[in-house]
């Protein structure tokens, strides 16, 4: 089986090399789009993903948008009184910029009661020319703040997260309220109980809050749709190419059948060729995708090993599915063709 498969590959290296090249090009696009999907998605919501909470309580009508939500500080005691709530923390949020001289860094300000004094920036802001101890001004508001350090805080709406105490955020906003409340609960039913106890609020699970970030669903959904079309295109491409190859070698296949080769042998050799060609293309595409990611911004392109492995495995599956149409020819080839009879 393997002998038959590799013998044909060795005798037609250019043909199978071109097929592997087509698969590699498709795989390259899939891996690049996978990295962009993960990277851009993380740039939109990784700051929220890092919050150690089960849900977020927004103002009713905010639709999960922190910038549109505003709640009074008195709601904290009411939420704490709901059965099933184990912890409540106020959360302030503002899209802003930190300026120092001629430098300006866009940030997503996240304020909590237990934040360190001053401003702690996400690590991606290190290359913006800011350092611990620098005095900056938060705009709008022109409020002076001091940078105290850097940490892995993530980003929201493609802006690095900046953590600061709630009192400083309230001073910046010139307001006494908060944007929302982070809650830890025993189960999801507790969130429904919060909504019933406080009709002017809109509690969401952490997953729902992440999905509600403006632009997140549209951005990742668009790229995901393109990836789906690429998978479908890969299946069609590989299917058509191997169908044509099977038709071209119908005569030799008839000779093999006439000399006693079993259908199992022919199918096994065929599947081996498809897998070998597709695997070679996928590996080449993955290498090119990783190389492309190395020259792209780290906050835009992220290709975790698990995501890469899943994309590669799916490409191999669609290659087999696309090539499955040719298997029928292997079962129906007439051994009498080898004697000159036409089908």
Share of the chain above pLDDT 70, in %: 86
Q: How many angstroms separate the CA atoms of 90 and 84, rounded?
A: 18
Q: Residue 140, preceding bond cis, omega within 30 degrees?
A: yes
| Residue 206 near residue 56 (C-beta atoms within 8 A) | yes
Tell me the pLDDT tens digit for each residue of 77-117. Answer: 999 999 999 999 999 999 999 888 778 889 999 999 887 88
* Lowest mean pLDDT, pick from 35-39, 165-169, 193-197, 270-274: 270-274
Report which of 123, 124, 95, 97 is spatially closest to residue 110, judged by C-alpha positions: 95
- Residue 137 host element (H or E): strand 135-139
According to the model, what pLDDT value does residue 343 have? 45
C-alpha pair distances (Å), 83 with each of 22, 165, 184, 336: 59, 28, 12, 80
Q: Is 134:104 a contact under the CB 8 Å cutoff? A: no
Q: Give the three-class secondary structure for 24.
A: helix
Between CA 169 and CA 175 the distance in angstroms is 9
Q: How far apart are CA 92 and CA 169, in angstroms?
A: 7
Please report how many Cα atoms fall inside a 13 Å half-sphere around the Cα of residue 45, on the Cβ side.
20
Residue in 44, 125, 50, 112 with CA at minimum distance from that of residue 76: 112
Using alpha carbons, select from 49, 54, 52 the residue that is nearest to residue 84: 54
Q: What SS3 class is residue 310? A: helix
Question: Comparing 335 with 147, which gets the higher pLDDT?
Answer: 147
pLDDT value of position 342: 47
Q: Which residue has the tokens 């169908």?
A: 243
Between residues 247 and 202, which one has the greater pLDDT? 202
Q: Which tens digit of pLDDT belongs to each residue from 8-47?
A: 666 667 877 888 888 899 889 889 988 888 888 888 888 8
If pLDDT is split at 50, 70 and 90, which confidence band does 332 have?
Answer: low
C-alpha 12, offset from chain centre: 39
Per-residue burial over 238-258, b if 16 or more Cβ lie within 10 Å, else e, is: bbebbbebbeebeeebbebbe
The angle that helices 263-294 and 305-323 make with each other, rounded to 10 degrees, is: 140
Confidence of residue 3 (pLDDT cuts 50, 70, 90): low
Question: Is the CA virtual torsion 283, 284, 289, 292 positive or negative?
Answer: positive
Give the residue from 203, 170, 184, 152 showing the smallest Cα distance to 47: 152
Backbone angles phi, psi at 95, to 5 degrees: -80, 125
pTM, rounded to two decimals: 0.73
What pLDDT score was predicted for residue 341?
53
Pairing mode of beta strands 201-205, 155-156: unpaired
């Amino acid at each position: 089986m393997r002998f038959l498969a590799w013998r044909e590959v060795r005798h037609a290296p250019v043909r199978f090399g071109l097929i592997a090249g087509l698969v590699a090009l498709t795989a390259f696009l899939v891996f690049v789009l996978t990295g962009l999907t993960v990277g851009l998605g993380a740039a939109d919501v990784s700051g929220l993903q890092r919050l150690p909470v089960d849900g977020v309580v927004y103002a009713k009508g905010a639709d999960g948008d922190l910038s549109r939500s505003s709640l009074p500080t008195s709601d904290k005691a009411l939420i704490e009184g709901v059965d099933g709530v184990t912890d409540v923390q106020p959360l302030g949020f503002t899209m802003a910029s930190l300026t120092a001289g001629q430098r300006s860094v866009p940030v997503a300000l996240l304020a909590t009661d237990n934040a360190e004094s001053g401003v702690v920036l996400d690590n991606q802001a290190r290359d913006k020319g800011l350092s611990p101890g620098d005095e900056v001004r938060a705009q709008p508001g022109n409020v002076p703040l001091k940078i105290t350090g850097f940490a892995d805080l993530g980003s929201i709406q493609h802006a690095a997260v900046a953590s600061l105490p709630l009192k400083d955020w309230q001073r910046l906003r010139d307001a006494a309220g908060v944007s929302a409340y982070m809650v830890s609960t025993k189960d999801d039913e507790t969130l429904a109980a919060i909504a019933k106890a406080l009709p002017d609020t809109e509690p969401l699970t952490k997953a729902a809050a992440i999905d509600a970030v403006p632009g997140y669903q549209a951005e990742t959904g668009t790229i995901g749709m393109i990836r789906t079309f690429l998978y479908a295109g890969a299946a069609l491409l590989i299917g058509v190419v191997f169908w044509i190859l099977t038709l071209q070698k119908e005569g030799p296949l008839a000779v093999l059948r006439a000399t006693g080769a079993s259908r199992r042998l022919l199918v096994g050799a065929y599947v081996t060729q498809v897998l070998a060609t597709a695997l070679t293309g996928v590996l080449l595409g993955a290498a090119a995708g990783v190389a492309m990611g190395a020259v792209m911004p780290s906050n835009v392109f992220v290709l975790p090993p698990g995501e890469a492995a899943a994309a590669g495995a799916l490409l191999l599956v669609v290659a087999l599915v696309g090539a499955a149409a040719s298997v029928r020819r292997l079962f129906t080839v007439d051994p009498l063709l080898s004697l000159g009879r036409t089908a």
